[in-house]
């Protein structure tokens, strides 16, 4: 029950922060997300699993409760640290944005911090929701608050982009809700622990809805616009956290009934690999830094869809990949935002080069971000290991499985390739601006904190506490018996 009180703090921040001045509101937000972060760490180290009852409704809704297992802890830990650190980064960035828009900094910051806190808190509560209707409510809150943040504070044609994001998200939400309702009718409950079967049509609605939200190639059309034109703190949450939560929803449904994935595994896997590799190569064509990162997100989300097809080890890889992508992409979008704030709106890669000389702090943070995406010396290494092990456990080692193994390895190599390509393109080479910039520590220190966490999660004791916990939950929920 103590965890419940810590999870309430981010919701409380949404109510209290707008009453304070910008700096105090930012510190309160950071504190109220860091306290749950440490509470979740304690739960991980003490191997605590709990179900926290809230209330009960008549069928088909059933019991409303929070599920605090290692899967929720892994996602929740990530959401808390990223939300806390991006809030700090956003203090000078959003002040710069308000001045650019000729808005009152103090007055506008109140509305911004309310939407930001509610957005981040809804994602945290989503991953602890033990009932599908509660999960859906927080999913919709996250989508609406993200839309409002883009609509009010985005770049370019922000209102059109906000509406584009909202329409696609509502389509995804309606399809997912239809799947949830079919589950509720068939099982007489929407409580995760009491759902016995999902059914093909329910799975299909949820799967298509979450493909749009993830998104992978095809439904991805909204993502480059939304990520590129959103204010950078929103991009730093939208790309690493929100879209990846579609993977969380698919993971929870798969842990109840894996039959849909088994039936269509080869088709889903081929589609996911093609999507990831195609989007990875598309990164090289981008000239806008934030759009480049958006196509990288499409590629990285392919990792999660691939992992979903690879049985128990793949599902562990999915969770870790979510964490790695969240750490890396929050750093990278914030780095892009730092460049925009310091270099007066600079986003065009063709006008960049040698920026390390003027903003070394942001440059070094970006390197750590790309190391996460490439799975180098960060928790992403564990994610790639479990995805590869899932390939071997599912398809074996033979000439027949060699094309799949090579395609997965190419998918991994692409992240490293476009990562170092971007670092060289943006931060190294002949400087176009040799002047050393005096920049606020808020623009890079929080990014290094995220980077440090991503490295610590690779090492004991964090990794040795988290990985066995994830394995035990996935095996406990029946995935250990899945036939490859």
Tokens matching residue 122: 């809804």
Classify the C-alpha dihedral 431-293-88-169 as positive or negative: positive
pLDDT digits (tens, 9 = 90+) for 394-446: 999 888 889 999 999 999 999 999 999 999 999 987 776 656 777 889 999 99
Confidence of residue 59 (pLDDT cuts 50, 70, 90): very high
Confidence of residue 263 (pLDDT cuts 50, 70, 90): very high
DSSP letters spanning 379-445: THHHHHHHHHHHHHHHH-SSTTTHHHHHHHHHHHHHHHHHHHHHHHHHHSSS-S--PPP---GGGTH
pLDDT digits (tens, 9 = 90+) for 423-434: 999 998 777 665
Q: How far apart are CA 202 and CA 199, in angstroms?
A: 6
**Phi, psi angles (nearest 5°) of residue 411:** -60, -45
pLDDT digits (tens, 9 = 90+) for 379-396: 999 999 999 999 999 999
Confidence of residue 121 (pLDDT cuts 50, 70, 90): very high
Q: How far apart are CA 410 and CA 417, in angstroms?
A: 10
pLDDT of residue 240: 75
Q: How far apart are CA 327 and CA 86, in angstroms?
A: 11
pLDDT of residue 266: 95
> Which of 323, 243, 283, 285 minimizes the C-alpha distance to 416?
283
What is the pTM (predicted TM-score) of this model? Answer: 0.96
Q: How far apart are CA 327 and CA 25, in angstroms?
A: 23
Q: Which residues pair with 55 in a beta bridge?
A: 64
Tokens matching residue 287: 């000239």
Residue 361 has pLDDT above 60, yes or no: yes
Residue 483 has pLDDT above 60, yes or no: no
Reported as type and span, the H/E element at residue 484 is none
Residue 456 has pLDDT above 70, yes or no: yes
CA distances to 13, 126, 140, 258, 470 from 8, rounded to whole Å, are 9, 13, 18, 33, 24
**Phi, psi angles (nearest 5°) of residue 346:** -65, 125
- The upper half-sphere exposure of residue 479, i.e. CA atoms within 13 Å in the direction of its Cβ, equals 27
Helix/strand/coil for 243? coil
Tokens matching residue 142: 């996250």
Q: Which of 88-92, 210-214, 259-263, 349-353 is the least confident region?
A: 349-353
Q: DSSP character for 194?
A: G
Quick count: other Cβ atoms within 10 Å of Cβ 55? 10
Residue 218 burial by Cβ neighbours in a 10 Å radius (0-12, 13-18, 19+): exposed
Confidence of residue 28 (pLDDT cuts 50, 70, 90): very high
Residue 342 has pLDDT above 90, yes or no: no
Q: How far apart are CA 355 and CA 129, in angstroms?
A: 43
């Amino acid at each position: 029950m103590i965890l419940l009180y810590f999870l309430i703090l981010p919701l409380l921040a949404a109510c209290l922060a707008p009453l304070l001045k910008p700096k105090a509101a930012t510190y309160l937000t950071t504190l109220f997300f860091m306290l749950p972060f440490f509470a979740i760490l304690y739960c991980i180290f003490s191997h605590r699993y709990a179900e926290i009852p809230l209330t009960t409704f008549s069928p088909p809704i059933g019991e409303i409760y929070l599920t605090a297992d290692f899967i929720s802890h892994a996602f929740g830990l990530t959401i808390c640290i990223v939300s806390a650190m991006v809030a700090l980064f956003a203090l000078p960035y959003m002040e710069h944005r308000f001045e650019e828009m000729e808005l009152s900094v103090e007055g506008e910051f109140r509305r911004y911090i309310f939407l930001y806190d509610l957005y981040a808190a809804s994602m945290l509560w989503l991953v602890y929701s033990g009932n599908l209707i509660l999960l859906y409510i927080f999913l919709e809150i996250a989508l609406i608050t993200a839309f409002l943040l883009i609509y009010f504070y985005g770049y370019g044609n922000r209102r059109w982009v906000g509406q584009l994001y909202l329409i696609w998200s509502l389509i995804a939400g309606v399809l997912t809700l239809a799947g949830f309702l079919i589950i509720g009718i068939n099982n007489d409950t929407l409580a995760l622990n009491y759902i016995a079967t999902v059914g093909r049509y329910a799975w299909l609605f949820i799967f298509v809805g979450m493909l749009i939200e993830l998104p992978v190639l095809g439904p991805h059309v909204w993502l480059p616009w939304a990520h590129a034109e959103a204010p950078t703190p929103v991009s730093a949450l939208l790309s690493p956290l929100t879209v990846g939560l579609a993977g969380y929803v698919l993971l929870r449904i798969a842990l109840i009934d894996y039959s849909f994935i088994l039936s269509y595994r080869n088709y889903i896997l081929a589609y996911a690999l093609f999507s990831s590799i195609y989007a990875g190569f598309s990164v090289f064509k981008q000239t806008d830094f934030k759009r480049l990162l958006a196509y990288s997100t499409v590629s990285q989300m392919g990792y999660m869809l691939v992992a979903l097809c690879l049985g128990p080890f793949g599902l562990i890889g999915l969770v870790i990949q979510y964490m790695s992508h969240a750490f890396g992409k929050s750093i990278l979008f914030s780095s892009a935002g730092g460049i925009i704030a310091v270099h007066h709106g600079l986003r065009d890669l063709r006008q960049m080069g040698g920026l390390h000389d003027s903003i070394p702090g942001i440059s070094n943070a970006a390197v750590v971000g790309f190391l996460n995406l490439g799975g180098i010396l960060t928790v992403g290494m564990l994610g790639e290991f479990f995805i590869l092990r899932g390939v071997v456990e599912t398809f074996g080692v033979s000439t027949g499985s060699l094309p799949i193994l090579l395609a997965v390895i190419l998918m991994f190599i692409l992240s490293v390739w476009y990562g170092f390509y971007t670092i060289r393109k943006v931060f190294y080479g002949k400087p176009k601006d040799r002047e050393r910039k005096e920049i606020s520590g808020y623009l890079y220190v929080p990014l290094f904190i995220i980077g440090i966490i991503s490295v610590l999660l690779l090492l004991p004791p964090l990794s040795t506490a988290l990985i066995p916990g994830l394995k035990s939950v996935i095996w406990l929920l029946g995935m250990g018996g899945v036939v490859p």
